[in-house]
Amino acid sequence: MSGDTIAIETPDGNFTGYLAKPATGTGPGIVVIQEIFGVNKVMRDLCDGLAGKGYMALCPDLFWRIEPGIDITDQSEAEWKKAFDLFGKFDVDKGVADIAATIRTLRPLSSGKVGTVGYCLGGQLAYLAACHTSTDASVGYYGVNIQNRLDDARGIKKPLMLHIAGKDEFVPPEAQEAVVAGLRDNSHVTIHRYPEMDHAFARPGGAHYDKATADEANDRTLKFFARHLG
């Protein structure tokens, strides 16, 4: 399956995203939010996989304001250096605005409801999308720095699921506990914890990929979206 490149409009200019469509031509929408490696093969494969499950899956190029078209891997030191440089320059709030624009672009192409799913940086952005956009359901995998944005949680009015890796090298235990405590009383939020997992346990080909746990988390995600976007 191969997707299309489509334009996404914002007040600051247009950028692009990778759109994968189901065989039926349309379905519920899911915005797939990138890691720090851009819209790479991992993200495109995720979109294609969701399209195979009946979703319109759109991955926006959220680094477009810094450098459009980033497509790197996690396989070399130079790429990691580039990724962290981009992460350091990235404006999270502009990223949330760009996700809102992506949702607006995807909704009329979809059968109605649009969700968001993100990984790493995208995990934080999926959380913030739940706080600040019109997303109908959001899922965040091992989101970084959520503990610094817990005040935003008052904006959560639709279902949110978070997958937390217990041994996440980028989210220390105290940050994990702050997130759990900060969201405990919000009835819209479901948190799944994976005590033995490190960051990016669901990234195929990654150093910490764990297929059994990734399959478990992904099954929870698909059931969540079937329930709330169907």
Residues with catalytic roles: 168, 199
**C-alpha to C-alpha distance for 43 and 107, rounded to whole angstroms:** 20
Region 96-105 average pLDDT: 98
Is residue 163 within 8 Å of residue 194, measured between CB atoms? yes
Is residue 116 within 8 Å of residue 126, measured between CB atoms? yes
Spatial neighbors of 22 by CB under 8 A, at least 6 apart, are 51, 52, 53, 54, 55, 56
Averaged confidence pLDDT in the chain: 97
Structural domain boundaries, residue 191: 4-228
pLDDT at 2 over 90: no
pLDDT at 1 over 60: no
Q: Provide the domain count of the chain.
A: 1
Question: In this structure, how many other beta carbons lie within 10 angstroms of the beta carbon of residue 147?
Answer: 19
pLDDT at residue 166, as a whole number: 98
Instruction: Specify the CATH number for the domain of residue 68.
Output: 3.40.50.1820
At 172, is the pLDDT very low, low, confident or very high (cuts 50, 70, 90)? Answer: very high
